[in-house]
Amino acid sequence: MSRMSGASPSGTSPNGASPSRTNPSRTGREKLAAGLLAAFLLVTAVDLAGLLADSWGVHRAAKPLLMPLLAGYVAARGGPRLLIVALLFGWGGDIALLFDAEPAFMLGMGSFALGHVCYLFLFKGAPVRRPLGAVYALALLATVALLWSDLPADLRIPVAGYSLLLTAMAFRASGLGVYAGVGGALFLLSDTLIATGVAQWPQLPAPDFWVMATYAAAQCLLAVGVLGAGAPAAGEGAAGARRAGESSRAYGERRTAL
């Protein structure tokens, strides 16, 4: 139906009132999404400031809020359920890594791994860039080989398996475009920084700051990349899909179903 239906040539309805040209519920969702994204960015800034100030209390208070806020933003945007689940698995990993114990580290790594599996299902059907895949494969082999002897013996196999899954996620994310591709690469960088700490390699100044900065940026860019990968948002229907390219449209149809 035309948005001008029922209006006079002057742009007013027959009774003289201006016709409504916006969907109040959609406007409300957009405002909610914008507010949640702003809250995520604000809490991220507070968390990073706390890490720079060496305030563990600020970090413990702020970190658990990050992924729920980002997941809420995705939900308000009508994003796919698997993306929300991936972010919530990231939340589980965030909570586990607040505790300085090997069982907590393993639990956190397992939770993040499940999140990467969700991402891989989301990225299924996205274009594949084989030369970039070779670069990621070489980076994986080099990183695991260099870290291997310095990792605790009981963590070598789990870390290697997790690294394979993470690298696959980062590579497949590149098929969705720049945002998701950079997000996947930053996730890989963030977890590599964690692994160098576990291996007791020399660290950058304020190492936790860099881990969290790259991680928060990674999750945000992955979420934005999935939401903007050419799939129609909730309510846009086929018209939104027609505006995307062939490969993006095929990917978008599948991720909407998820």
| pLDDT tens column, 97-134 | 999 888 999 999 999 999 999 999 999 989 998 999 99
Identity at 36, one-letter amino acid code: L
Identity at 66, one-letter amino acid code: L
- Region 59-73: mean pLDDT is 98
Give the pTM: 0.81
Is the pLDDT at 247 greater than 80? The verdict is no
Lowest mean per-residue pLDDT among 192-196, 201-205, 211-215, 246-250? 246-250
**pLDDT at residue 209, rounded to an integer:** 98
- How confident is the model over 150-202, as pLDDT tens digits? 999 999 999 999 999 999 999 999 999 999 999 999 999 999 999 999 999 99
**pLDDT at residue 73, rounded to an integer:** 98
Q: How confident is the model at residue 212 (pLDDT cuts 50, 70, 90)?
A: very high
**pLDDT at residue 23, rounded to an integer:** 72
Identity at 68, one-letter amino acid code: P
Q: DSSP code of 161?
A: H
